Structure 1
Amino acid sequence: MATSIDAPIEPVQSGPTTLRATPEDFRRWADVGQEMLLKLAEATNEPNERRVLRTFRKTEAMEIGRITEYRWNEARKKLKFGVSTTAEARVTLEEIHKIQEMLGIRPRRPKGSRAIRMAVANFKGGATKTTVAFHIGQAFPLRGYRTLLVDADPQGTLSRLMGFRPENIDPDMTLTSLFENVSKEQKDRIGLRPQPTHIDGLDIIPASLEMTGSDIHIASAFMQKVEGASEFYRLFDDALAAIEDNYDIIVIDTAPAFSFLALNVLWAANSLVVPLPPSFPDFSATVDFCGMSGDLISAISRLKGFGKSWSPTVFMHSRSESTNAAADVRTFAGHLFGRYRVEEGIPKLSAVENALSQMRSIYEVTGAEVDSRALRRARDAVDQFSDRLVKLIEGEWAEQVRESEVVENDHE
């Protein structure tokens, strides 16, 4: 059943002064809403299997790849991407990565380090977790890092933004199978199955609504006294361990609520980014998130005799504005979180909202689709935040390498 966007679907039972709705109304709204979302996706993007990232002009490509003009021209000739040196010469991200690899400058985590599992987490809805995960999840592969996006929110908004339709995704391609594993023998367990995206160097584990049943699987395992049920919090951790060598950075978008799935993400993550919009309700909710997360994870750590930490841990401001209230929240956050709160963030900018309305990031739209000056400001802001994260990640990798060398020396 098709419908016009400006023609609301009225409930079957609705009196003149009431707004009563039945389950059938909700099902109908869901069906029609899915059609509307599909039309929006078809109007703004091609289906995932044909979706293509825009190409880059020479100057932008050199900036992204950190490549000098001399080495750029030399590499393009050797790789036969063309010999044009004009500013209008365009290349794909895959070609930029090939140039980086040929020149030996494509970034990669050093030997002796492990993939950064960066969860973007805050239990309050509207904290812009998906917006942050979506943009840094693209910023990292643009710089050359092998990146995996994990959509751990059953609503699947991140998956939709990446061109996937959660309602059509095989549950075995999501995190759903992990929680079914809790009652399966090791030989029968299903692992994670990352899917390629339209962005070179970026894979995704999408979400589906079936993930909402994860708590039921775990509760059932406890009720049936399934062997190993008490290790439920490690399901995601163990699954990531089997694939993380293929990646430098893993970005995980979390659901805006506490659940067994959320606990799995917090335990599996070794890095946290906590978005904090500049309002006191969001500040209060972030404080509650800290208390709940700290209590739960420390309880497991004590029970299992395992120390848990996240590095880097970053509190960042999203949707920040130049208002007195926003400044007050930033001051409060600065006093509370100290050096863990970074100045870089994602401000409230029209270019971000306009790009998201087209189901794309600010890296995917062009100046012809979004005001070019606003787009430049948005990209600069996200780039500065992403660069800050990269520096912190590189510092963590360096520390891991030092620790690895100490262990090796002790064994000699």
Structure 2
Amino acid sequence: MQAMRFNFRTLCRNAAERGGQMQRRLLDALEARHTVKTLPEFGIERAAQLAGCTANHIRNLETRGDLPQPRLVDAGSIQRRIYNYNEVNRLRAAIGKRPSRPAGASCVRVVFSNLKGGVAKTTMSLHFAQYLAREGYRVLLVDADPQATATGAFGFIPDLDLSDGDDLFPALAEAPSLIAQAIKRTHWESLDLIPARLALQYTDWRLSQPEERQNETLGPPPVRLHRALKTLEDRYDLIVVDTPPSLGMLSLNAIAAANLIVMPIVPHMYDISSSVQYFRILEQICALYEREINVQRLCILLTKVDGSTETLNNIAVINGAYGELLLSNRMGLTKELQKSASDQLSIYEIDQPRGSRDTYNRAIMMLDGVNSEILLAARQIWQQEVLSGIEAGESHRVGASS
């Protein structure tokens, strides 16, 4: 009796068909749970604090019709005004206190990058983008990680809500201007998203093909995201990019697109060792694409920091090697982040603490400290660009007069 030959191709085709049926059943279940995301609500005192004015000033603007009438909820015998972050930003605009990049400065592209996974790249890129939106900036978050965790945090179910063209692939493989078609609005009015899907993994393979390296129209594969994001700069104050935990074409494109790189490191020995290789790779990228790359600052952010003796010793080692690159604020381990993430929410989106109020307040203070320091680095890039523009203008006038 002749033994049957194992046909791997047939096995894969059958498995794909059965998997497709399974996927449709899962998507039906997910669709039933798919809800529209909202922002937390708070009273007029908190709104005034965020906007930088008094509660009476808000009431006067609403009475005069300079602001829409507030939403009201019953609170016992009185009605209480309620607001969210979107309404605070409209208030800031009405009183001339909404921030933006300075005149003469370009959009800053902030990339969270590291070769290792599990270092809180997605957590930090998500919270930094939402922090910027909370503060009133116009922000684009680019999810360049096929795992699409940041995309899911905005309520999108990639295989249900997204289709071909709803990610970075067309902009990297067809035309830079196509990136605009991938932009999605979110429940944060000043925060847009370019989502990711698992199919984005194909991009790494596609851009690695020999014919792509010879494509003079689109340019070298590692710098195409830079060119695509340049077409969006007028729309946003800052662009934030989340990257995959690997060194492929998606990560290379993100690095080449950055003005500011934030490198999260967990203060453990393996992570410290990987940072050395990371810097060597960055040097090689700069040597190959020096004209295209415009990284003006790199910051190292220590994440998942605990109080153990080993961690403190490792921090001392990192500080000795990279001292001037380290952010002074650190991200510690916090249960509040873990609990909110399990509900597909960020710390900035939850109405009530998942644990104690003190734990929640510490988590907010820690995130605000880190995010404000990264924003300060972006502001310094803006300031330097404005000063360079002024100096260039003065040099031109002096040359013309002579």
What TM-score bracket applies, with the shorter chain setting the length?
A: 0.7 to 0.9
Shift of 1:371: 3.0
TM-fit CA distance, 1:31: 7.5
User: What is the aligned counterpart of 1:299 among 283, 288, 301?
Assistant: 288
The yes-or-no answer on 1:362 pairing with 2:336 is no
Contact 1:57 1:87 in 2 (8 A): no
CA contact (8 A) 1:218 1:229 kept: no
1:190 aligns with 2:178: yes
Report the CA distance between 1:163 and its aligned residue.
Answer: 1.1
Instruction: State whether structure 2 residue 46 is matched by structure 1 residue 60.
Output: yes
Change (3 A) 1:67 1:32: farther
**Contact kept in structure 2, 1:118 and 1:249, CA below 8 Å:** yes
- Alpha-carbon displacement from aligned partner over 1:3-50 (angstroms, at most 9, x marks no partner): xxxxxxxxxxxxxxxxxxx9678997898689779867965xx53xx3
- Give secondary structure in 2 for the equivalent of 1:56: coil
Q: Does residue 158 of structure 1 match 2:150? A: yes
Q: Indicate yes or no: 2:130 matched with 1:149.
A: no
User: 1:404 Cα shift?
Assistant: 1.1
- Cα shift at 1:204: 0.2
* Partners of 1:152 and 1:254 within 8 A in 2: yes
Q: Where do residues 84-103 of structure 1 align in structure 2 (5 Å cutoff)?
A: 89-103=81-95
* Deviation per residue, 1:135-164 (Å, 9 max, x gap): 111000000010110000111111011111
> 1:4-19 to 2 correspondence within 5 Å?
none
Query: In the alignment, what sits opposite 1:393?
Result: 378
Structure 2 Cα separation of the partners of residues 309 and 290 of structure 1: 16
1: CA distance, partners of 2:26 / 2:312? 39
Does the Cα contact within 8 Å between 1:298 and 1:308 map onto a contact in 2? no
Q: How has the CA–CA distance of structure 1 residues 150 and 307 changed in structure 2, closer, same or farther, with 3 Å as cutoff?
A: closer
Helix, strand or coil for the counterpart of 1:274?
A: strand
Local SS of the residue matching 2:216: coil
- 2:48 partner SS: helix
Residue 140 of structure 1, aligned match among 132, 138, 154: 132
After the TM superposition, which of the residue ranges 314-323 and 217-226 deviates more from structure 2? 217-226
Quote the Cα distance in structure 2 between the aligned partners of 1:52 and 1:345.
Answer: 29
Describe how 1:152-301 pairs up with structure 2 within 5 A: 152-168=144-160, 169-181=162-174, 190-193=178-181, 194-220=183-209, 222=211, 225-228=214-217, 231-301=220-290
Distance 1:239 1:109 in 2: 20
How big is each residue's C-alpha offset from its partner over 1:209-244, in whole Å with a ceiling of 9 and x where there is no partner?
221112332233527944346522221111111111
Q: Which residue is 1:19 aligned to?
A: none
Work out whether 1:79 is the aligned partner of 2:72.
Answer: no
Identity among equivalent positions (%) equals: 23
Q: Which is further off, 28-37 or 120-129? A: 28-37
Distance in 2 (CA, whole Å) between partners of 1:126 and 1:34 is 30
Residue equivalent to 1:111: 103
Deviation at 1:259, TM superposition (A): 1.0
Cα distance in 2 for partners of 1:329, 1:368 equals 32
Secondary structure in structure 2 of the residue aligned to 1:316: strand
Change in Cα spacing, 1:90 to 1:270, as seen in structure 2 (3 Å) is: same
Query: 1:371 aligned to 356, 376, 380, which one?
Result: 356
> Displacement, 1:295?
1.8
> Are residues 324 and 359 of structure 1, via their aligned partners in 2, closer, same or farther at CA, if it must alter by over 3 Å?
same
TM-score computed with the length of structure 2 as normaliser = 0.85
Residue matched to 2:391: 406
Q: Distance in 2 between matches of 1:41 and 1:355?
A: 21
Counterpart residue type for residue 163 of structure 1: G
In the alignment, the residues of structure 2 paired with residue 243 and residue 229 of structure 1 have an alpha-carbon distance, to the nearest angstrom, of 17
User: Is the contact between residue 58 and residue 87 of structure 1 (CA under 8 Å) also seen in structure 2?
Assistant: no
> Which of the pair has more CA radius of gyration?
2
Give 1:178's aligned amino acid: A
1:119–1:271 CA contact under 8 A, matched in 2: yes
Instruction: Give ranges in structure 1 of 5+ residues lacking alignment.
Output: 1-21
State the aligned residue count.
378
Alpha-carbon separation, structure 1, partners of 2:283 and 2:20 = 37
Structure 2 counterpart of 1:317, from 294, 297, 302: 302
> Is 1:353 the equivalent of 2:346?
no
What amino acid is the match of 1:179?
Answer: L
- Residue identity matched to 1:56: F
Q: Helix, strand or coil for the counterpart of 1:204?
A: strand
Q: What is the Cα-based RMSD across aligned positions, in Å?
A: 2.9
2:257 & 2:316 partners in 1: Cα distance?
31
Say whether the 8 Å CA contact 2:70–2:83 is kept in structure 1.
Answer: no
